[in-house]
């Protein structure tokens, strides 16, 4: 008897297991039951089953670099340890030239994506943003620019005195390839006002992504969990994301973000437990039945826990990242970057086939069992990125949305 069959026949979750097995959609009440179950292993088996049915044995990672253009922000979200005011000594803003220099260094180690976000800067003009996008695109047109959260888009629309649609169109024309999923936090208003006063509403977040999807773009989405929200709030959050995905099919993946407790004004002193990390991944995999990918974000979970999550419903480890500030300023204990070889090793040890992917989760390299091509001193990118063939690069360009 397979493990899933065991859950189907004997476990506390046997009725939900039957629904999953039959491909029936889970309700919000079902999702809440999954969050509350004491049978974490049964839940993990089901989620892993749903993941393998969709993604097979493959699990992915991306060779990317994070880049924050500025930490100045006109808002003061209670959970945020990243933002600074102009009076603060450790505030910063980068010029387009400085961003290009950082991108050039990262290209040398094989990144395929720059992930760019920042605070809501009080005075930089709209042309600053289109300017750095153009400069980065000129540096290497194949570099995929995944930039901006929904609240940044609203801020830029206000700066540009344009509609969200026109703002997104202009950013796309300057080089924006994908929106990031950051800033979703928890959608329910009562929670949002406790952790992120002044931030956009759930409807505004979803509408920015809806508009981007209608323009032919793709994006990821997130949920910041493990602070003052209830499990029902998490389910409500996932319900909104599943609803928009039904409408647009524009989300490439879901990335749950565990809360980090340091240097902020939220009265919660610890990050989510290991149990909570795994069950959140697993419930997301089972409830978000219209999403292809669920990411175990090693920055917030640690690589060891993220590796375990690859058998609890996750099929992606995110990326090499190289320079992460937002989670680390809030107390994340993970390193600033992961070498590609360590991501490959973690995926392999979890019993899965490592795949280097691009921004849109398209495969760039599949690591066969005998393939040991990442050399010990190859840095974050490693040899795999440099060894991509022209054919693979052409395929990448062909599969990226026109955005």
By CB under 6 A, is residue 80 in contact with ligand SF4? yes
Q: Binding residue for ligand SF4 (CB under 6 A) from 60, 83, 180, 260? A: 83
CB of 267 to ligand SF4, least distance (A): 18
Name the minimum Å distance from CB 75 to ligand SF4.
4
Is residue 131 within 8 A of residue 146, CB to CB? The reply is no
Nearest approach in angstroms of CB 393 to ligand SF4 is: 34
Q: Are 215 and 165 in contact (CB under 8 A)?
A: yes
Counting contacts by CB under 6 A, is residue 266 touching ligand SF4?
A: no
Check if the beta carbon of residue 281 is closer than 8 Å to that of residue 29. Answer: no
In eight-state DSSP terms, residue 200 is P
* Cβ-proximal residues to 259 (8 Å cutoff; 6+ apart), any chain: 79, 224, 225, 226, 227, 266, 268, 271, 272
Retrieve residue 127's tokens.
């042309």
Single out the residue of 61, 66, 69, 82 in contact with ligand SF4 (rule: CB under 6 A): 82
**Site residues for ligand SF4, window 90-119 (CB under 6 A)?**
119
CB 101 within 8 A of CB 120: no
Binding map of ligand SF4 across residues 118-147, x = CB under 6 A, - = no contact:
-xx---------------------------
C-alpha Rg value of the chain to the nearest Å: 20
To which residue do tokens 């609803």 refer?
243
Nearest approach, Cβ of residue 150 and ligand SF4 (Å): 10
Subset of 374-393 contacting ligand SF4 (CB under 6 A)? none
End-to-end Cα, the chain, rounded Å: 47
Q: Which of 308, 289, 350 is nearest to 50 (CA)?
A: 289
Per-residue x/- marks for ligand SF4, 178-217, CB under 6 A? ------------------x--x------------------
Residue from 73, 266, 281, 288 binding ligand SF4 (CB under 6 A)? 73
Give contact residues for ligand SF4 (rule: CB under 6 A).
Answer: 73, 75-77, 80, 82-83, 119-120, 151, 196, 199
């Amino acid at each position: 008897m397979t493990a899933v069959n065991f859950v189907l026949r004997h476990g506390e979750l046997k009725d939900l297991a039957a629904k999953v097995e039959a491909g029936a959609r889970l309700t919000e009440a079902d999702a809440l039951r999954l969050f509350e179950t004491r049978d974490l292993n049964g839940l993990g088996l089901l989620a892993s089953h749903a993941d393998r049915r969709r993604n097979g044995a493959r699990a992915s990672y991306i060779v990317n670099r994070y880049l924050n253009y500025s930490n100045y922000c006109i808002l003061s979200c209670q959970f945020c340890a990243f933002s600074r005011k102009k009076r603060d000594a450790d505030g910063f803003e980068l010029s387009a030239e400085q961003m290009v220099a950082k991108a050039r260094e990262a290209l040398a180690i094989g990144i395929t994506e720059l992930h760019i976000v920042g605070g809501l800067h009080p005075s930089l003009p709209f042309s600053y943003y289109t300017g750095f996008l153009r400069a980065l695109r000129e540096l290497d047109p194949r570099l995929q620019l995944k930039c901006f959260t929904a609240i940044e888009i609203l801020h830029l629309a206000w700066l540009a005195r344009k509609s969200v649609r026109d703002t997104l169109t202009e950013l796309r024309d300057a080089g924006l390839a994908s929106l990031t999923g950051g800033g979703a936090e928890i959608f329910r208003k009562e929670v949002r006002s406790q952790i992120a006063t002044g931030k956009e509403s759930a409807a505004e977040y979803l509408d920015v992504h809806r508009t981007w999807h209608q323009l032919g773009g793709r994006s990821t989405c997130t949920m910041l969990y493990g602070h003052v929200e209830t499990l029902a709030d998490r389910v409500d959050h996932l319900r909104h994301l599943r609803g928009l995905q039904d409408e647009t099919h524009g989300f490439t993946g879901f990335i749950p973000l565990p809360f980090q407790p340091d240097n902020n004004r939220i009265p919660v002193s610890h990050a989510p437990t290991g149990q909570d990390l795994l069950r959140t991944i697993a419930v997301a995999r089972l409830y978000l039945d219209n999403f292809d990918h669920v990411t175990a974000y090693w920055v917030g979970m640690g690589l060891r826990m993220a590796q375990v999550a690859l058998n609890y419903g996750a099929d992606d480890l995110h990326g090499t990242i190289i320079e992460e500030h937002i989670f680390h300023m809030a107390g994340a204990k993970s390193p600033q970057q992961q070498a590609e070889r360590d991501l490959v090793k973690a995926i392999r040890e979890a019993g899965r086939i490592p795949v280097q992917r691009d921004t849109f989760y398209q495969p760039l390299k599949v690591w066969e069992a005998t393939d040991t091509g990442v050399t010990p001193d190859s840095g974050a990118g490693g040899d795999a990125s440099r060894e991509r063939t022209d054919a693979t690069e052409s395929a990448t360009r062909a599969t990226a949305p026109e955005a």
